Each structure stands twice: as C-alpha cells, then as structure tokens.
Amino acid sequence: MEALNNHLQNFPHFSPVLFEQLAPCLSVKHLEEGEYFLREGKVCKQIGFIETGIVRLYYLNDGKETTKCFCKENSFTCSFQSMLTQQESDVAIQAIEPTKLIVLSYDSLQKLYAKDLFWQQVGRMVAEAEYMISDSHQRFLRDLSATERYVQILENDEELLQRVPLNYLATYLQVAPETLSRIRKKITRT
Amino acid sequence: MEALNNHLQNFPHFSPVLFEQLAPCLSVKHLEEGEYFLREGKVCKQIGFIETGIVRLYYLNDGKETTKCFCKENSFTCSFQSMLTQQESDVAIQAIEPTKLIVLSYDSLQKLYAKDLFWQQVGRMVAEAEYMISDSHQRFLRDLSATERYVQILENDEELLQRVPLNYLATYLQVAPETLSRIRKKITRT
C-alpha cells in the first residue's frame, strides 16, 4: 500500500496518523487482463486506487462500446456517477493489463469523511479530477476530428498507445478499427 | 448574505466562526437580465452563489449555442473547467432574470482551502454537483429524444419552464424553436 501512502503525502495537511486511520479500511484486489472491477448495471460500492496496471471505463452508446477513459497506476478509479448516487452504473470498468488495486468501500469512505476533514480534501480533488475527465471526454468527441484525437494522445501520452490494444483505442477515439489503422499509417508516413 | 449562511449550515462541521472567516471575502453582484457573469474566452476567477434569479451556462458548438444548464437560487455557479485550470472558459454565464450573486474570488477560495478543511468539504460537494450536471447533460443529449428531454424537465422541474424563455430552452434541448413549439403543442393535447 506504499504507492497509495506516497500518493496521499502529496495532499496538504497529510499526516501519518491519517494513513493509520485509513489502512484498516483497505483491501487489495488483483484483476487479470479482461476481468472487471465493475460491471454495467451494478451499483459502484467501492473506489479503487491503481497500484499497477491499467483499466478502461466504457459505456454502451447505441449498442456500441465507447471507452470514456483509461486509468493507470497512481490514480483512482470508480464509476463516479454511480458512486455519488448509489444507483446502477452505466459504465463498466475492465482491466486491460493485470492490475492491482487498493480498494476502499463506499461505506468506509463516508465514515472517513465524517471522521476527519482531510478526507474531504481528498474527495474534493478526486471529484475535480473526475470532472476534468468527463469534461475532456466531451470536448474530445465534440471538437476534434478522428486524426486530431489520435495526434492529441500521441503528443500527450504516447506510452498509452503502447499499452492499450488497438480495438479499445478505436472505441476511445470513436472510429472503426480500419479508420484507426489508416490514421496510424498516415501519421507514420508524415 | 443570509441565504448563503443558511445554505452552508446544511454542511456537516459547520460553525458560525466559519462564516465569519468567509464573510470578509464576499462581495455582492447584481446582474440585469441578459448581463454576463462570465464571457466566453475569459478565465473564470470567481464563483457565485445565486441568492435570487437564474443564469444559464452555454457554449458554442459548430457556431450554435448549446445551453449546458440553468442554475437558480441557492446554488453555486462558475465555469468549473476554467476555474480548475485557470485557463480560458469556453462556457459563458448569462443572467436570464435579474440576478443577485454572492461572489467569492478564486484566490480567496484557495486561501480558505488552506485555512480550514471545512472548505474542502464545500469544495468537494460543489465539485460533485458540477460533475453530476456535466454527466447528466451528456446523458440527456445522448440518450433522450427531443420530446423525452422536454418531458423530463416537465416532470422534474416544471417551474423552470415558466422562468426560461423558449429560445433558451430550445438551445438546452438542442432542437429548433419550431420543433420545440410542436413538442409543446403535442404534449398539451395529450
């Protein structure tokens, strides 16, 4: 749980006592490639901190998968809308590499919120990050052409392109796999 | 500033001392109908608590206005993406009734975050609310037909339909004003 401890040390007002408060509430979950952290239609009752690996969040849009984002090591993952409302999630979370998560339940999170306001700060920053992911996803689809979307990832997070299978990348860019192949060939040539 | 004081009393851990901490940072802003709290292209440097009135947040999509949401009394409003990144906003905030806002600057908010963790809790809840607005807007446009969108507002917030001019409502539903008229006639008849 070292990675989560290190991550929390970045937050102002952190003290080791706070991690001692948190530690008994945590558990570890290992997912094989392809396994699910959350299925569509289930209520999201836990938040995961990714220690190693990568997951994708996707939803069905007219029966077709759309990958909303990829979350990798040193970040939190959950179906945020389902977590907040405690209603069914329309997002599924699937590992696309063997993934190790540190898991905190929804109920434990509520208790931590009540116990120390430090956790409110963590909650604020997670909520802000979730907002930015959701907002960026909207802009990404609304404002950029398929090629521009690919170039944006190439420029900002080239490592992601090495780790994510092309069929999942295509559902993130919202293009057919053949279109993605054409874009990649064109970019490589230029 | 009574309304904001009352609103904050709903948060756990609130104490009157906290409002005394906040009060010197606040100012009051009155907007006439049609006036702007924030223009597109400007950086959002303040968050507003609406005491009376109603504003709409909109962005341009292929040159056409899309209203993202309406915010009314007893809620906060800002361009959240611009507030978080301190970069230019692609969202404008315009009053559609005479509106009175209690205003807190971005800089004061950062100081409050550092001063007392209570404000982190307020920040968390505002961030969560902003996430839900953004997420609902996506689903609303993605999953519902024009008629279903109208019916959803009619069922959940009929008062909004009395207060919002039809041309703005059409940009929220993303339909032409004539289509909205047809939908309204159809609903009234059934």
pTM score of the predicted model: 0.85
Among B116, B117, B134, beta carbon nearest to A131: B134
Question: Hey, which residues 122-181 in chain A have their CB within 8 Å of chain B?
Answer: 123-124, 127-128, 130-132, 134-135, 138-139, 142
Instruction: Say if the Cβ atoms of B127 and A124 lie within 8 Å.
Output: yes
Six token digits for residue B187 = 């609903």
* C-alpha to C-alpha distance for A151 and A145, rounded to whole angstroms: 10
Q: Between helices A146-156 and A177-189, what is the axis angle to 10°?
A: 60
Q: DSSP labels for chain B?
A: -HHHHHHHTTSTT--HHHHHHHGGGEEEEEE-TT-EEE-TTSB--EEEEEEESEEEEEEEETTEEEEEEEEESSSEE--HHHHHHTSB-SEEEEESS-EEEEEEEHHHHHHHHHH-THHHHHHHHHHHHHHHHHHHHHHHHHH--HHHHHHHHHHH-HHHHHHS-HHHHHHHHTS-HHHHHHHHHHHHH-
Q: Does B117 touch chain A (CB under 8 A)?
A: yes
* C-alpha to C-alpha distance for A101 and A29, rounded to whole angstroms: 5
Task: List pLDDT tens digits, range A15-31.
Answer: 999 999 999 999 999 99
Q: Does A88 touch chain B (CB under 8 A)?
A: no
DSSP code of residue A156: H
Residue B77, class by beta-carbon neighbours within 10 Å (0-12 exposed, 13-18 middle, 19+ buried)? buried
CA B102 to chain A, closest CA, distance in angstroms equals 22
At A96 the three-state DSSP class reads: coil
Task: List pLDDT tens digits, range B90-124.
Answer: 999 999 999 999 999 999 999 998 888 889 988 99
- Averaged over A168-176, what is the pLDDT? 92
* C-alpha to C-alpha distance for B136 and B144, rounded to whole angstroms: 11
- Rounded CA Rg of chain B: 18
Q: DSSP labels for A99-133?
A: EEEEEEEHHHHHHHHHH-THHHHHHHHHHHHHHHH
pLDDT over 90, % of chain A: 73
A16-35 core/surface letters (b: 16 or more CB in 10 A; e: else): eebeebbeeeeeeeebeeee
Q: What is the pLDDT of residue B62?
A: 78
Instruction: Say if the Cβ atoms of B135 and A135 lie within 8 Å.
Output: no
CA A122 to chain B, closest CA, distance in angstroms equals 8
At A98 the three-state DSSP class reads: coil
Q: What is the ipTM of this complex?
A: 0.83
Instruction: Say if the Cβ atoms of B130 and A131 lie within 8 Å.
Output: yes
Q: What is the pLDDT of residue B190?
A: 66
Instruction: Say if the Cβ atoms of B131 and A132 lie within 8 Å.
Output: no
CA distances from B24 to A179, B97, B102, B106 (A): 57, 27, 12, 14
Instruction: Say if the Cβ atoms of A131 and B132 lie within 8 Å.
Output: no
**A interface test, pick of B81, B87, B91, B120 with most A CB neighbours within 10 Å:** B120
Task: List pLDDT tens digits, range A33-47.
Answer: 999 999 999 999 999
Would you write out chain B's pLDDT as a tens digit for each of its 190 residues?
889 999 999 888 899 999 999 999 999 999 999 999 999 999 999 999 999 999 999 998 778 898 999 999 999 999 999 999 999 999 999 999 999 999 999 999 999 988 888 899 889 988 998 899 888 888 888 888 999 999 999 999 989 999 999 999 999 998 999 999 999 998 877 6
